[in-house]
Amino acid sequence: MTEVNKDIFDYKKLGNVEEIWYKSSFDGQDIQGWIVTPPDFDPAKKYPLILEIHGGPFTSYGSVFSAEIQMYAAQGYVVLYTNPRAVPVMERHSAILFITITPTTIMTT
């Protein structure tokens, strides 16, 4: 690893990123997500929540740095972002289920 950004992180704090998994209330399938808490998060306090939703189904979230999400956390928000069904990292079964339960027409070329 390098310390290219050491001068920035000497005075900036990032939000803590935690991967979570939970069961779908629809069919019990595992859903992946992440919660980012503000720097200096205090679990005894209440925080506003932002639910970050991507424009899938042809994109996905992962364990990568997101300046946008870190900016929200720095402003005092807890941020939740998840990979809904039919994103590229999910299995084919989820993609088929997504198509059958959403009112979206998916075009293929």
Taking only the tens place, the pLDDT of each residue in 29-48 is: 888 899 999 999 999 999 99
Going by their DSSP bridges, the two strands 30-37 and 49-52 should be labelled as unpaired
pLDDT at 89 over 70: no
Looking at the predicted structure, is the pLDDT value of residue 97 above 60? no
- Say what the pTM is: 0.69
Mean pLDDT for all residues in the chain: 77
Query: For residue 48, which of 73, 25, 67, 29 has the smallest C-alpha distance?
Result: 73
Give the contacts of 96 (CB within 8 A, at least 6 positions apart).
Answer: none
pLDDT, tens only, 62-82: 777 889 999 999 999 999 998
**Of the candidates 17, 16, 10, 9, the residue with the CA atom closest to the CA atom of residue 63:** 17
pLDDT on residue 104: 44
| Amino acid (1-letter code) at residue 85 | R
Token pair 């994109």 is at which residue? 59
3-class DSSP state for residue 78?
A: strand
CA 109/CA 107 separation, integer angstroms: 7
Is the pLDDT at 88 greater than 80? The verdict is no
Q: Is 82 or 98 the better-scoring residue by pLDDT?
A: 82
Instruction: Report pLDDT for 78.
Output: 96
Q: Where are the alpha helices (DSSP H) in the chain?
A: 6-9, 67-74, 92-101
Please give the domain boundaries of the chain with CATH numbers for all domains: 14-101 (3.40.50.1820)
